[in-house]
Structure 1
């Protein structure tokens, strides 16, 4: 039987009508049976929906913002379809469903569940538009709701995959369809045992592609990006970047773990376990070679530079001058786990534990509340975490010039620095 191929297209590749036409051209000579297309929300739709949720939670007027999001999608449709096309009432219906989600109050206690229920509409809307457009161009695809495929826990916003149920569902539903037609589905979203919408973590569409690849024993996964492949640094932040022609699973996993944004951190493991190669290619130059991530790639010596913004440095200090022990670390990590907060950097001293985490809504206040009786706590927000892999031949000084250095850590292969931009005070 012909092996399945997974293509994933992110928000930048479907941000407007011209981008969707470009996607169709990429698929024109590539689309075939046993291909699954995983599609993200269009452009910055997820950000816009997150803003809507915050406005509703604060009891602010949100209908204008909702209209802007709807008009954004309708304007794309107007450039792709005749005015009597069935996509228009379908989009109207989806936005009516979306608006209904805002009737109930949104607060701290139900924020995560509300988030997943609302934000999932970005992918549902984008895939409806793109599937209809592809079919109108003679590229026949079958639309499939990913929530029927990806079974997860009820850990809203950071749902854990039920691999066995997902494998059975994916094979049962998709294999009969794929024998005849390609399938288009949504990235980022799934559902729990009660049928409630869940999400896999921000930018989780890559992970969806890997989940389906593993479940279907796919031949390969290709992620289409606005960069020529996996680079050793984000070209929007760093100059003189280099492309990796090949990367091993281990090197790619390290880069994603420390925050490289080109691939979602959870993408590599299911592919490596099955030996499924991952290709990262440019939708702007689809004939170019891109990067191949696989198990036989040579070890890399090129340094990789990764910058995470909006970081918080928190130091927990014991109050009775006892030394930090395992029980203190477990206590802190248990609360971090309960809040679904990932530690991006950890440093221990005799009487303190310092962690660096992402700045997430509500989470810091909750963490401080839970641990304030057991530790003296200090924190700094608005920081950056710089990580350099394969750092041996790198001069760190240029990366620290103009910054306060709050924390630094060097291992055999990794240099990390928590930095804060020095802002010169205006002279009076």
Structure 2
């Protein structure tokens, strides 16, 4: 019996009409039943929706932002479809629903739930456009709402998967369809037990592909990117990058843990557990080899650079002349857990704890408020966290030239530095 396959196309691969036409060309000789296609929101749509939410939260007028977003998608459709096509009424209905959801109240307490309800429209809109365009080209796919099968808890913005329920519903609802047609669906979104929209974490469409692959016992997952495969650094930030022809699950997981953006960090584990290989390929050169991530790949040991921007360094100093102990660390981590803030780097001294976290709306203020009675707190925003895996110590100074280093630490395998441009 033939196995299922999962393809995932990110925002850059559906960012405009020519990108969607290119997606159709990629699928021309690859489209078949037993294929599930997962698509992200188009281009920077998620960023645009986040800005709308922020304006709503700040009691600012966001109507122009909504109009610009609508015209962006309509403009793409006008280039792809005849003017009487069904897509225009489908799009109109989705934007009417978005407007109605934006009328609902928002505050700091329900911000995450409101966020999930709104940002998911990016994937719903893009998947409708891509599905209708493929059908227009004679590439028949069945559009499915991922929220009907991706079941999660109610931890909005960072929802955790109900694996058993997701597997049961995905197989019951989608396997009969896949016997005859490919399915096109959305990444990033799910729903909780009350049917409320949830999201799986920023850039979570890769994770969706892995969830569906394990639920459907797929033979492989392919993520289509604007890079030739997994590189040892982001080519937009660092020169002379190297492509990995293959990677072991463990090495890939380590890269994503430290923030490598080519793959969502939650993607590797379910695929590794199920022994499903992951291919990372270029939608600009679809016949090239890309990178294969699987369990039998040899360790590469090539120095790998990961840069995370918009970082915040927060230092908690005890005020009663005692030393830092497990109780202090537990107290800090409890507050971080409550606010869903992940620690990207940790450093301890005798009297202080320093953590590096992603910058998130409201969260820093809430963190400070929750711990100011116990600690003297200082923080710096607008920083970068540089991580070098399989480091070559001789190459580190050049990476820090022109930067002020606020914090650094090194192990046999890993070097990390919190930095900012000198003079800032």
Query: Which TM-score tier does this pair reach, normalised by the shorter chain?
Result: over 0.9
How many residue pairs match? The answer is 424
The aligned residue for residue 386 of structure 1 is 386
Give TM-score scaled by structure 2 length. 0.99
Return the alpha-carbon distance in structure 2 between the equivalents of residues 173 and 322 of structure 1: 59
The aligned residue for residue 228 of structure 1 is 228
Matches within 5 A, 1:158-169: 158-169=158-169
Return the alpha-carbon distance in structure 1 between the equivalents of residues 344 and 305 of structure 2: 15
2:100 counterpart of 1:100: yes
SS in 2 for 1:395: helix
Return the alpha-carbon distance in structure 2 between the equivalents of residues 262 and 345 of structure 1: 20
CA deviations over 1:205-233 (Å, ceiling 9, x no partner):
00000010111111000000000000000
SS in 2 for 1:286: coil
Say which is worse superposed, 76-85 or 323-332, in terms of deviation: 323-332
The aligned residue for residue 324 of structure 2 is 324
The aligned residue for residue 131 of structure 1 is 131
Mark the runs of 5 or more structure 1 residues left unpaired by the alignment: none
| Per-residue deviation, 1:393 | 5.3
The aligned residue for residue 192 of structure 1 is 192
Return the alpha-carbon distance in structure 2 between the equivalents of residues 135 and 104 of structure 1: 35
The aligned residue for residue 147 of structure 2 is 147
2:213 counterpart of 1:213: yes
Return the alpha-carbon distance in structure 2 between the equivalents of residues 197 and 258 of structure 1: 28
SS in 1 for 2:102: coil
Matches within 5 A, 1:284-295: 284-295=284-295
| Per-residue deviation, 1:187 | 0.1
Matches within 5 A, 1:319-358: 319-358=319-358
Matches within 5 A, 1:18-417: 18-392=18-392, 394-417=394-417
Aligned 8 A contact 1:392 1:413 in 2: no
| Per-residue deviation, 1:239 | 0.6
SS in 1 for 2:222: strand
Return the alpha-carbon distance in structure 1 between the equivalents of residues 331 and 386 of structure 2: 27
Return the alpha-carbon distance in structure 2 between the equivalents of residues 210 and 314 of structure 1: 34
| Per-residue deviation, 1:315 | 0.9
Return the alpha-carbon distance in structure 2 between the equivalents of residues 111 and 228 of structure 1: 37
| Per-residue deviation, 1:105 | 2.2
| Per-residue deviation, 1:415 | 0.1
SS in 2 for 1:99: helix
2:421 counterpart of 1:421: yes
| Per-residue deviation, 1:392 | 3.0
Mark the runs of 5 or more structure 2 residues left unpaired by the alignment: none
Return the alpha-carbon distance in structure 2 between the equivalents of residues 36 and 128 of structure 1: 15
| Per-residue deviation, 1:394 | 4.4
Aligned 8 A contact 1:229 1:281 in 2: yes
Aligned 8 A contact 1:153 1:161 in 2: yes
CA deviations over 1:294-318 (Å, ceiling 9, x no partner):
0000111210001111101111111
Aligned 8 A contact 1:152 1:161 in 2: yes
Return the alpha-carbon distance in structure 1 between the equivalents of residues 181 and 96 of structure 2: 30
Aligned 8 A contact 1:12 1:43 in 2: yes
Return the alpha-carbon distance in structure 1 between the equivalents of residues 130 and 276 of structure 2: 27
Aligned 8 A contact 1:387 1:417 in 2: yes
Q: After TM superposition, which residue ranges in structure 1, 4 or more long, deviate above 2 angstroms?
A: none
State the Cα RMSD in Å: 0.9
Aligned 8 A contact 1:157 1:198 in 2: yes
| Per-residue deviation, 1:423 | 2.2
Give TM-score scaled by structure 1 length. 0.98
Say which is worse superposed, 399-408 or 7-16, in terms of deviation: 399-408
Aligned 8 A contact 1:249 1:293 in 2: yes
